[in-house]
Amino acid sequence: MITAPDLQVWFDAATNQGPGYVVAYVRSAQEARIEYDLKVITVSRAGTSRIGQSGGATLAPGQSQALSSVRTAQQAGATCQIDLVLREGNTALGEYTYDCSAKK
């Protein structure tokens, strides 16, 4: 079983106005099989968009693993947030939030 301190989580993003993407990555100090839930919430003048993805990954010690890739299309003034929850079986490993709002 892994613990939260054994994990590194980061997001690679290109979120300028218009089409963009966000990729969630994780790295573990030890081998593990994890599950994830990723939600993208975008709020604009046109309304609210919610996208969800779930899946699993087998992590090799010290190796970076892309969990999910999401494309976004944002309007000026829109807000965007990504919520990522990691689990190992029924054990929560961590919750991570990323502001994916368009950068000027």
pLDDT tens, 17-41?
A: 556 778 999 999 989 899 999 999 9
**Which domains are delineated in the chain?**
4-99 (2.60.40.2420)
pLDDT at 72 over 80: no
pLDDT number for residue 79: 87
| Backbone torsion region of residue 18, taken as left when φ is above 0, otherwise alpha when ψ lies between -120 and 50, otherwise beta | left
Greater confidence (13 vs 33) lies with 33
Burial class (CB in 10 A: 0-12, 13-18, 19+), 100: buried
Which residues are CB-contacts of 16 (< 8 A; sequence separation ≥ 6)? 102, 103
